Amino acid sequence: MSVLITNIGELVTNQPEPDARAGREGSGSGRDGAGPFAAVTGAALVIDEGRVAWTGPAPRAPAADQAVDAGGRAVLPGFVDSHAHLVFAGERGAEFAARMAGQPYRAGGIRSTVAATRDADDDALRANLRGLAAEMLTQGTTTFECKSGYGLTVRDEERSVALAAEVTPEVTYLGAHVVPPEFEADPDGYVDLVCGTMLEACAPHARWVDVFCERGAFGRDEAQMVLVAGLAAGLDARVHANQLGPGPGVQLAVQIGAASADHCTYLDGADVDALVGSGTVATLLPGVEFSTRQPYPDARRLLDAGATVALATDCNPGSCFTSSMPFCIALAVREMHLTTQEAVWAATAGGARALRRTDVGHLGVGARADLVMLEAPSHSYLAYRPGVPLVAGFWLNGQGVVGGQKVVGGEMMVGG
Ligand SMILES: [Zn+2]
C-alpha cells in the first residue's frame, strides 16, 4: 500500500535534486546515500513498501492508496544517532548533581555502572535498553548505534551485544571501554582477553569494534591491537578519540580506516588534516561537554577545513544521559556555531555516514522510509525552540505514528 504525505511545509531530503519522476526506483540518487543539505518547501512524499518512492512539489505528486495531510509541518529524515551506550543497569544522578555542585569528579563512577550491570539479570538490562530505545524513537531517532562496555567479562560483554542486537543492527563491541578492577594489575592481560576470547564471543552479535583510546583508558598500541583484532574478526572500526586531551586516537582511526572518530574535543592541526579527505567521520557529542561542563569541540574548524561531521548523543548513565538528538542539534547550533542546516545534516546524513549507511539519513528515492514530522514549519525550530518536544510523528520503515497514534495509510488507529 502506497502512502502520500502531502502539504509538507518543508521537506528536508539531503538530496540535491528531489526526484520528481515516479517509477524510477532503482535509478534514484538515493541509492548512493545522502548528498548535501537540501530541502523543498510546499512538498509531498510518497512511501511504497517501506521505501521513499517519490519526493517533489506537492501539486505534482502522484496518486497513492492513502494520503496524510502534514498541515504545513516540516518532515525530515529520521535522526541517526551513531553513538550510544544503552546496555547498562543503575543510574548516577547523584554523581551528576555533585559534579554540578562543584565537587571534583570521583573516578570509579563507571565502575559503579559496571558492578550494577554485572549484577543485573538479562530481563532488567533488556527493559532498560528497550525503554531508552523507545525514548529515542519518540524524539525522532529512527536509527541508532548501541555499544557494550559495561560488562567487561566475556559473559557480560557477550550478553550485552546480544541484547543490543535485539533492538538495532548497529551493534558495537566495546570490551575496550576501561580496564576492569580485577585486571588493574594486569592491563595487558585484559587487552589479550578483549582481542581473544571476548572478541570471539561477541563478534557474531556485532557489526563494529570500538576502543576508548585515551590516557587512563587504552594507549595507541593497545587501541591498535584491539581494532586490528576486531577487523580480522570481520568487524568494522570506530574509535573514542581525543575526548579528554590531545592524543593519538584520531590519527589511529584514520590510519586504520575507521568509520568514525568520536568526541574530537582536543584536536591539533595534524588531526584535522588527517580527517579531511579521509573516510573517517568526526562525530561530535556536545551533550557530553554540556553534562561535564567541558569545553566544546571546535566544530567550525572541522567544517571549514572540509571534514565530515556527525552529531550523536553518547547517551550513557555517566557523562551524558540524554537520548535527545533535538537537544544535541540545539547545542551544536548555539554552542558550536553550526548553522541549523549543518546541524540537521550532521544529525541525519552525518550519522548515516558515520555508520556507513546509504539507506538512511536522507529521503532520496529508494531510501528507507524513516521520517520525522515536526510540530513546526521548519527544521530550524529544533534549535529555535530548544527543550520543546517538537516531534509530531514519525515513520519507521514506512510505518507511521502521528500524535501517538498509529497511522496505517491515512487512517488513524489507536495504539502504537
Ligand atoms: Zn561513548
pLDDT per residue as tens digits for the range 191-201: 999 999 999 99
Query: Residue 104: exposed, middle, or buried by beta-carbon count in 10 A (0-12, 13-18, 19+)?
Result: exposed
For residue 31, the model assigns a pLDDT of 58
Distance CA 238, CA 248 (A): 14
Report the separation in Å between the CA atom of 83 and the middle of ligand 1, taken as the mean of its atom positions: 6
Q: How does residue 17 score in pLDDT terms, banded at 50, 70 and 90? A: low
Question: In the prediction, which pLDDT does 413 show?
Answer: 42
Count of beta carbons in the 10 Å neighbourhood of residue 277: 12
Strand partners, 401: 394, 406
Q: Is the pLDDT of residue 123 over 80?
A: yes
Q: How far apart are CA 1 and CA 3, in angstroms?
A: 7
Residue pair 242/265 in contact (Cβ under 8 Å)? The answer is yes
Q: Output the CA 218–ligand 1 centroid distance in Å.
A: 14
Higher pLDDT, 339 or 403: 339
Mean pLDDT of 213-230: 96
Check residue 403 and give its pLDDT: 72
Using the mean position of ligand 1's atoms as its centre, give its distance from the Cα of residue 263 in Å. Answer: 8
Q: Is the per-residue pLDDT at 115 higher than 70? A: yes
Which are the contacts of 186, defined by CB distance < 8 A and separation ≥ 6?
A: none
- Computed over every residue of the chain, the mean pLDDT equals 93
Confidence of residue 400 (pLDDT cuts 50, 70, 90): confident
Sheet holding 79-81, edge to edge: 79-81, 141-147, 170-176, 208-213, 236-241, 260-263, 281-284, 309-311
**From the CA of 17, how far away is ligand 1's center (Å)?**
35
- How far is residue 177's CA from residue 226's CA, in Å, rounded to a whole number? 11
Q: What is the band of 26 on the pLDDT scale with cuts at 50, 70, 90?
A: very low
User: Residues 6 or more apart from 123 whose CB is under 8 A from it?
Assistant: none
pLDDT at 29 exceeding the cut of 50:
no
pLDDT score, position 183: 97
Q: Residue 47 pairs with which residues in a beta bridge?
A: 3, 52
Distance 315 CA to ligand 1 centre (A): 8
Ligand 1 centroid vs 212 CA: distance in angstroms? Answer: 8
pLDDT at 167 over 60: yes
Residue with cell 558495537: 172
pLDDT value for 109: 81
Q: Mean pLDDT across the stretch 168-180?
A: 97
15 has pLDDT over 70: yes
Tell me the three state secondary structure of residue 260.
Answer: strand
C-alpha 10 – ligand 1 centre gap (Å): 33
pLDDT digits (tens, 9 = 90+) for 337-361: 999 999 999 999 999 999 999 999 9
64 CA distance to ligand 1 middle (Å): 43
Q: How far is the CA of 100 from the centre of ligand 1 (A)?
A: 20
Angle at alpha carbon of residue 391, lines to 389 and 394, rounded to 5° = 155
Average pLDDT, integer, range 138-144: 97
State the pLDDT confidence band at 270, using cuts at 50, 70 and 90.
Answer: very high
Which among 227, 214, 223 has a CA at the least distance from the CA of 264? Answer: 214
The answer on pLDDT for 384 being more than 80 is: yes
Band of pLDDT at residue 1, cut at 50, 70 and 90: confident
From ligand 1's centre to the CA of 314, what distance in Å?
A: 5
Kindly give the distance from the C-alpha atom of residue 85 to the centroid of ligand 1, in angstroms, as a whole number.
6
Question: What is residue 145's DSSP assignment?
Answer: E
What is the whole-number distance in angstroms between the Cα of residue 25 and the centre of ligand 1?
A: 37
Which carries the bigger pLDDT value, residue 188 or residue 104? 188
Q: Is the Cβ–Cβ distance between 136 and 81 less than 8 Å?
A: yes
397 sits in the region (left: phi over 0; alpha: psi -120 to 50; else beta) called left
CA of 312 to the centre of ligand 1 (A): 10
